[in-house]
Structure 1
């Protein structure tokens, strides 16, 4: 018998099977990624809307708000969000392993740790003006940014409650509820911003008030959702167990914080470097702030994919399905890359027109148009990098990635930015070029780590982690305290 038809039939059958698997994974991905992208866009837009309104108050105030949000608030935002991302690993793997009762304890531990961290790091906001002056910013921008930073301290404490709840709900795939809450907060924020900044003329004070109100409204909505019993099994009430084994929880939280903070701080330092340029520093800061503002909106798409792949990987590893985890990584990376290339093309096509949306200053608009090529390349690189970071979070590789980020961002990226920007007098292009080199180096190394990963070993590690934390949460003493009623319910 001629074997050729059989071989062809096998090939078609295998291709069909793979296509079905890709389609099934793609549907699972988008069920998580679609709402996650909207959540990321809505929450980032709270900053972006404020900055957009502030851009029409003048160049100095735009620069002050940009530095206040990207530098001062960015320090706290990155650190607290990084610490909160420990819940993506723990809650995601616990959910996959069916240990739902542990998730509420993890949430409360994270609230405690992040709230204490917010108190300890709050002086950064209080002394923002002298810190920025010490970092070489102009006296005028430092003064205005320092005042704005003090006004947004309430927003900073909202982060300490928001991020843990966000990861807690995300691990259970309750992303649609989060989407609605974030969308409602954004709609109210737009109205508040117009009223306080434009109509009432409160300027930057109004901008700070609207940010504070928006973030605390989001916190209250999520808290009510959780306490109302919308997370059965995962939330069983407040418990003294939240104060148990905090040290182990802090270690994982710190590793997560360092991993993500290095990314935020890298961009923050580059903004400060632009402010040190000898000519047109204010114009360059405004131009880069606008580009990073737009990039911040667009990067929420891969951040949504990051959240989705983190849930998929942690759930599958927790459930002992390493092949499914690996397949999810491949599908997510390719999907995000295609979306990133599409955004880059849109940016390049509209590079002479989109700056009008952000500023009235002709000189700033021209500079934004001139560096749009760098923005486009950044968008493509960032379409993959956050997804691989999500894989790292889902698998619990935060400590490893922290070392990679230190080498790539600061030894490669920052050094290159200083040399090209100052030594070779390439200005903002040289500084941004250094940032791109840092991104490329980090992307290559994490890609190699991901490709060489033994997913069977990762699944075993995830199950061991869930088992270890479960034992530390429910020892015999704790079981007795539950039976005696010391577990506080709501």
Structure 2
């Protein structure tokens, strides 16, 4: 076959020796790997490297932004902690409860914009559709946040039912009530970030937080210590910081870049056809929440193991929250990238981006794993001087290090699923993995000889199950041999295009939410 030439065979695939050229010991038996074969391989290699570089550039400012964002409440806790141990416990518990409730609306609910806004930006004939989706998102997310705000306002009996100390029940309830106005700024800030990220504008969130992070420290110090407000000055200061962050991001969009997709306020279109967005937002909350709630359950279980395990758990959780910004930020960037490519009807590039994100997460997870294993015996000294705590952190850290690769896969592949509008798949995988086996196993081991290591071993098992399953699902859904039928990468023309136009839903976004 190598010596047969047909009209359809590219010149580069024919043998170098022609029939009139005698063969010698120097004549190659096979052609050089050039042309369609060799150059094609090099081209694909460069495309993969190019895609990895695109994702790296997109994810880096997102990761920095989430790190700075977490620092707002961390700084608040540290400043309040100078008042008294009770004030420290109250602030830490209050922000933890906020993270497990309202911040899920901000970080989980806005994943609906990852799906719809990114595909709208590249797939819609009217660029102002993206502005309508932002308005719809703010409307829906505000309603969801209002439900959480009601829970915060009557949280005192809830905390008593959870068995918390009396000062926690009273002071945390008041703390959260004061935080309610500022929390809305947090939700709107996240929605605004997703609006810009859908346009492949990733850096403004970092720029804004570089301003508001030091401002937040100053405001907390002023309200808590200088103005004499005490404990309740923290939610006032942090709430102001959230609103300033939102307003600065709006100012960036108006005066610098991002206003091109804003066509003005259109309340009629914004509040129509709410269910597709609401469904994706709720599924996003469940997808992100199922993992966060599992770690909160681990924290509660650690408190029953004793003082030293609880202190070690606090050290590990603090470190993990910082490290988790890497896979979470990569997942956010991946969601926007996948949505943009699907909106542009480029499924092959979307498949490549999905697997490049997984590869990138494995590389990042491997680096973190090596660092944690190399520092496990001294890591605890960064947070605590007690030798018992440092020793226990060193015993548990290998489990934390080992799940970094799986956690990276969970972040990147979860981002792919959200970009495809398949939040329910990630939520289902999390529910089965964490609550169907890993959490009960970890709690059982913790109270049957393993201690704190048993809890983290359970989390390690859960994350590997989640990471492996999600990558398999992504591999199946992005296989071009199955004509994309599994994934919902649908390109058929909807039966009612005028319906999409009226409700600012581009064809791709409509397909993803049917």
Higher mean Cα deviation, 102-111 or 330-339? 330-339
Within 1, Cα distance between the matches of 2:276 and 2:287? 17
Pick the aligned partner of 2:247 from 220, 223, 230: 220
Tell me by how many angstroms 1:469 deviates.
9.6
Q: Secondary structure at 1:371's aligned position in 2?
A: helix
Query: Which residue of structure 2 lines up, in the alignment, with residue 207 of structure 1?
Result: 234
Higher RCO (Cα < 8 Å, 6 or more apart):
1
Q: Secondary structure at 2:261's aligned position in 1?
A: coil
- Alpha-carbon distance change, 302 to 469 in structure 1, aligned in 2, over 3 angstroms: farther
Are residues 1:173 and 2:197 paired?
no
Query: Which residue of structure 2 lines up, in the alignment, with residue 451 of structure 1?
Result: 475
CA deviation string 1:403-441 (max 9, x = no partner): 22211121122211222223x143322222222222122
Within 1, Cα distance between the matches of 2:202 and 2:145? 26
Query: Which residue of structure 2 lines up, in the alignment, with residue 264 of structure 1?
Result: 292
CA deviation string 1:72-96 (max 9, x = no partner): 4322211342221101100111112
Query: Which residue of structure 1 lines up, in the alignment, with residue 412 of structure 2?
Result: 387
Pick the aligned partner of 1:245 from 253, 273, 276: 273
Pick the aligned partner of 1:342 from 351, 359, 367: 367
Mark the runs of 5 or more structure 2 residues left unpaired by the alignment. Answer: 1-26, 504-514
Query: Which residue of structure 1 lines up, in the alignment, with residue 355 of structure 2?
Result: 330
Tell me by how many angstroms 1:106 deviates.
0.8
Pick the aligned partner of 1:18 from 44, 65, 74: 44
Query: Which residue of structure 2 lines up, in the alignment, with residue 479 of structure 1?
Result: none
Query: Which residue of structure 2 lines up, in the alignment, with residue 112 of structure 1?
Result: 139
Pick the aligned partner of 1:158 from 155, 166, 185: 185
Equivalent residues of 1:305, 1:332 under 8 A apart? yes
Pairwise mapping of residues 55-74 of structure 1 onto structure 2 (< 5 A)?
60-74=86-100
Equivalent residues of 1:63, 1:289 under 8 A apart? no
- Alpha-carbon distance change, 358 to 51 in structure 1, aligned in 2, over 3 angstroms: farther
Higher mean Cα deviation, 49-58 or 249-258? 49-58
Within 1, Cα distance between the matches of 2:138 and 2:165? 37
CA deviation string 1:100-122 (max 9, x = no partner): 22111111111111111111221
Higher mean Cα deviation, 353-362 or 375-384? 353-362
Give the total of aligned pairs: 474
Tell me by how many angstroms 1:12 deviates.
4.9
Tell me by how many angstroms 1:362 deviates.
5.9
Higher mean Cα deviation, 347-356 or 296-305? 347-356
Tell me by how many angstroms 1:150 deviates.
3.1
Tell me by how many angstroms 1:213 deviates.
1.8
CA deviation string 1:256-299 (max 9, x = no partner): 2222221222222222222233xxx4543343233222211111
Query: Which residue of structure 2 lines up, in the alignment, with residue 231 of structure 1?
Result: 258
Query: Which residue of structure 2 lines up, in the alignment, with residue 290 of structure 1?
Result: 315
Higher mean Cα deviation, 138-147 or 216-225? 138-147
TM-score, structure 1 normalization: 0.86
Within 1, Cα distance between the matches of 2:80 and 2:384? 9
Q: Secondary structure at 1:384's aligned position in 2?
A: helix
Within 2, Cα distance between the matches of 1:383 and 1:10? 35
Query: Which residue of structure 2 lines up, in the alignment, with residue 82 of structure 1?
Result: 108
Query: Which residue of structure 2 lines up, in the alignment, with residue 483 of structure 1?
Result: none
Query: Which residue of structure 2 lines up, in the alignment, with residue 28 of structure 1?
Result: 54
Within 2, Cα distance between the matches of 1:468 and 1:194? 59
CA deviation string 1:428-457 (max 9, x = no partner): 222222222221221222122111114552
Q: Secondary structure at 1:2's aligned position in 2?
A: coil
Higher mean Cα deviation, 288-297 or 360-369? 360-369
- Alpha-carbon distance change, 318 to 165 in structure 1, aligned in 2, over 3 angstroms: same
Within 2, Cα distance between the matches of 1:128 and 1:331? 44
Within 1, Cα distance between the matches of 2:250 and 2:194? 13
Pick the aligned partner of 1:375 from 385, 400, 423: 400
Q: Which has the larger radius of gyration?
A: 2
Within 1, Cα distance between the matches of 2:208 and 2:392? 37
TM-score, structure 2 normalization: 0.83
Equivalent residues of 1:87, 1:168 under 8 A apart? yes
Q: Secondary structure at 1:175's aligned position in 2?
A: coil
